[in-house]
Structure 1
Amino acid sequence: MDDLEAIKQLKYRYLRALDTKNWEVFEGTLTPDVTGDYGSSLKFTTRDELVGFMRESVGPAVITEHRVAHPEIDVEGDEATGRWYLQDRVIVPDFKFMLIGAAFYDDRYRRTDEGWRICGTGYDRTYEAKMSLDDVPSFALDVGPAIRID
């Protein structure tokens, strides 16, 4: 597999693990020294910090959907950068809340003995639309078996 395809699969695995709450797989996509920058109030300097935050804040009561497209990936030896267009949705039924948004991910990747890993990630939002599920009286939610709740 070439480097571009390996990096694409890594990003897709990162998002699948996040949305299915498979924290072991999610952790495995990141280097120990990964940095995360999701705006002024969400910054991380280690894998333990980033994974711990996601595990706590995106638990079983939070449904997420992350889709990326239009990758712009540049590989230089054992390092690479990537920019992705993100569309995401967050549903929190207990609070009758839904967010729909878009952003541009900026990632840094490093080739390791285990293959490519994310060593820096974050995004710049282009928009967020928030709504109360009370405003959508017909809203119903069924969660499939792919979501881990352990």
Structure 2
Amino acid sequence: MFNRYADALDHRDWNLLEGLFTEDVTTDWFGAYQVSGRAEVIAYISELIGRTARTHHLLGNYTADIHGDTAEASVRVRAYHVGDGERAHLFEESLAGFEASVVRTAEGWRFSRFDERLYVMLGTQEVFGLNDAALA
């Protein structure tokens, strides 16, 4: 699922992204941005990623603790984001971890909680039109 998430972002495939979350998903990016509900999460992500010219997400070190129809899973992430338009000279690179709760539904496995923990950030969140002070 994490790979499909990265593909959805890097290819701007919002239909693929929508199919990864439960209706009542909760999210937390860096402890600074919380969004709940599938429609709201898709809108938030697509708007943020839409402010960039390109993204590249590289994933590794997967873990999963599966208990029947639920699981706790994580993966390490290196994500690179290039600015667009007047922000084309900017970049942001995150060394982070995705941590998620996953549930098996009639349609397959879905994220019911999706969090990103930031370990290192290079560049600036201004790539997304955000202020770096939110992470301080």
Query: Same fold judged by TM-score > 0.5?
Result: yes
The answer to whether the aligner puts 1:41 opposite 2:24 as a matched pair is: no
Structure number with greater Rg is 1
CA gap 1:40/1:70 in 2 versus in 1, 3 angstroms:
closer
Aligned residue-pair number: 122
Runs of 4 or more off by more than 4 Å in structure 1?
none
2:80 to 89, 93, 103: 89
- Name whichever structure is richer in strand by fraction: 2
The share of aligned pairs that are identical, in percent, is 25
Show the counterpart of 1:12. Answer: 3
Query: How big is the shift at 1:93?
Result: 3.6
Aligned-residue Cα RMSD (Å) equals: 1.4
Distance 2:83 2:19 in 1: 26
Aligned partner letter, 1:107: A
Name structure 2 gaps, 5 residues minimum: 125-136
Name structure 1 gaps, 5 residues minimum: 1-9, 132-150
TM, length-normalised to structure 1: 0.76
Show the counterpart of 2:15. Answer: 24
Query: How big is the shift at 1:62?
Result: 3.2
Query: How big is the shift at 1:15?
Result: 1.1
Aligned partner letter, 1:51: I
Q: Secondary structure of 1:40's match?
A: coil
TM, length-normalised to structure 2: 0.84
Distance 2:104 2:31 in 1: 29
